[in-house]
């Protein structure tokens, strides 16, 4: 969750859609963590879009930190949280420039099944799957999806209010950085947004 010294510019436009397969899987937290990482790497360019009743602005710390967020109407990078509406990805128009879809699913049999269903139904985009709580995986089953990243459990992510990057573990910061790098790679950027540390 730390920007690199020389972040690459994001392609214009970049529209990251983060959607969960169910409520309570960490969709808003993942969207906020990625938005904070991208905003730190690209000050003044990242804007947020949230679903009705969502808490993305509060989780991302828009009003409580010193990250430079884009002013309304000026963002070239949009992070949109759909909440538990991953099925909406099936209605994304084909060939949407700069669109990257990220589906958040729990790392268990039902979560993997739901994630695979989203991938099968999303003809316009191949969603990137972020499986949360990988440290609690018990069945050892590999997901039936090709594009996946893991996010380990961390109390700092579960705490209410704005995310505090300095309280997240090194492992979580690295995992979020890798997810941000993959988002930028899929959108057409060539350089990582964050350094990979171990």
Domain ranges, ordered by start, for the chain = 15-187
Share of the chain above pLDDT 70, in %: 76
pLDDT for the residue 30: 93
Show the tokens assigned to 93: 């128009």
Average pLDDT over residues 57-70: 85
Query: Per-residue pLDDT for 39 more than 50?
Result: yes
Count of C-beta atoms within a 10 Å radius of residue 49: 17
pLDDT for the residue 96: 74
Query: Per-residue pLDDT for 164 more than 80?
Result: yes
How big is the chain, counted in residues? 198
pLDDT band (50, 70, 90) for residue 10: low
Query: Per-residue pLDDT for 136 more than 70?
Result: no
Least Cα distance to 131 among 152, 156, 101 occurs for 152
Show the tokens assigned to 59: 């989780």
pLDDT for the residue 12: 62
Query: Per-residue pLDDT for 9 more than 50?
Result: yes
pLDDT for the residue 91: 81
SS3 for 39? helix
CATH architecture of 15-187: 3-Layer(aba) Sandwich (3.40)
Q: Which of the pair, 125 or 32, is modelled with greater confidence? A: 32
Q: What is the per-residue DSSP string for 99-125?
A: EEEEEEEESSHHHHHHHHHHHHH-SS-
């Amino acid at each position: 969750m730390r920007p690199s010294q020389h972040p690459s510019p994001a392609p214009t436009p970049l529209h990251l859609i983060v959607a969960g397969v169910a409520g309570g899987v960490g969709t808003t937290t993942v969207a906020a963590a990625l938005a904070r990482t991208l905003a730190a790497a690209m000050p003044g360019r990242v804007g947020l879009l949230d679903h009705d009743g969502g808490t993305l602005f509060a989780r991302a710390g828009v009003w409580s930190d010193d990250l430079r967020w884009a002013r309304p109407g000026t963002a070239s990078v949009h992070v949109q949280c759909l909440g538990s509406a991953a099925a909406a990805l099936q209605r994304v128009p084909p060939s949407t420039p700069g669109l990257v879809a990220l589906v958040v699913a729990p790392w268990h049999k039902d979560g993997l099944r739901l994630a695979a269903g989203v991938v099968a139904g999303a003809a316009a985009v191949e969603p990137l799957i972020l499986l949360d709580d990988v440290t609690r995986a018990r069945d050892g089953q590999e997901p039936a999806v090709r594009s996946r990243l893991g996010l380990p459990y961390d109390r700092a992510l579960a705490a209410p209010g704005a995310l505090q990057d300095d309280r997240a573990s090194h492992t979580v910061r690295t995992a979020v950085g890798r997810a941000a790098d993959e988002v930028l790679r899929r959108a057409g950027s060539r350089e990582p947004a964050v350094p990979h540390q171990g």
